Chain A
């Protein structure tokens, strides 16, 4: 019996292409049909963002990039349209722009319980669809409790920041791989696939890796 193909995915919670890419990857993996083992890794796109940014994502981008508000709104409208095409109903009117480091700590906490994938999906949904805050400990604890985690245990984990070294280790490994943007997929530890590729591309890549395994002694 062959080992599943390992796919390590670097991603941030407030990265619109990461959620879209997640859907496309899932679709591609389904088309591929073989065994795939996914592990998410932390990537902080904007680690200097305050937890409570005073403004909307439009304000944030306009301030950071010096772009006209109308241009930013047009960009967001396009992203929302692309998200819709993969079944995601992004609600940019209610997004809380924030610092995501503690949400990454929560992802590592969930991974320690063998439930990282469930938490990843829930946090992306929280940020892009539900308009929930993913930067503050009390809000993140509520999300974890909703998923069935123990309130005291998750509160202790987040308040002590005992998973912060794991977040930083992921970021350091991304740097070693030369990863500058997300989503980024490392397949079998050998192949790098950058961005929200089409589902068919993911399926082809996985098939190619599988075929290579079968021909390599």
Chain B
């Protein structure tokens, strides 16, 4: 079960987070690749007999 998401509180504006907190995003000059994406690619390559 996924833990409840924290509410983003800033001095000016408040947003209620929705969606998957592990979704891929770029921060600074780095764009992380979540593990589930890596696994999905491996699965696809297996399906295509590419591995």
Binding site for B on A (CB under 8 A): 12, 15-18, 20-21, 45-46, 49, 60-61, 64-65, 75, 78-79, 81-82, 85, 176-178, 180-184, 186-187, 190-198, 201-202, 205, 208
B15 contacts which chain A residues (CB < 8 A)? 177-178, 186, 190-192
| Residue count of chain B within 8 Å CB distance of chain A | 29
- Assembled-state Cα–Cα distance A20/B11 (Å): 31
A-B contact count (CB 8 A): 107
- Assembled-state Cα–Cα distance A155/B27 (Å): 31
Of A12, A82, A198, A208, which contacts B41 at CB under 8 A?
A: A82
Of B12, B24, B25, B26, which contacts A176 at CB under 8 A?
A: B12
A194 touches B31 (CB 8 A): no
Of B13, B23, B27, B28, which contacts A177 at CB under 8 A?
A: B13
A191 touches B30 (CB 8 A): no
Of B13, B22, B25, B38, which contacts A181 at CB under 8 A?
A: B25
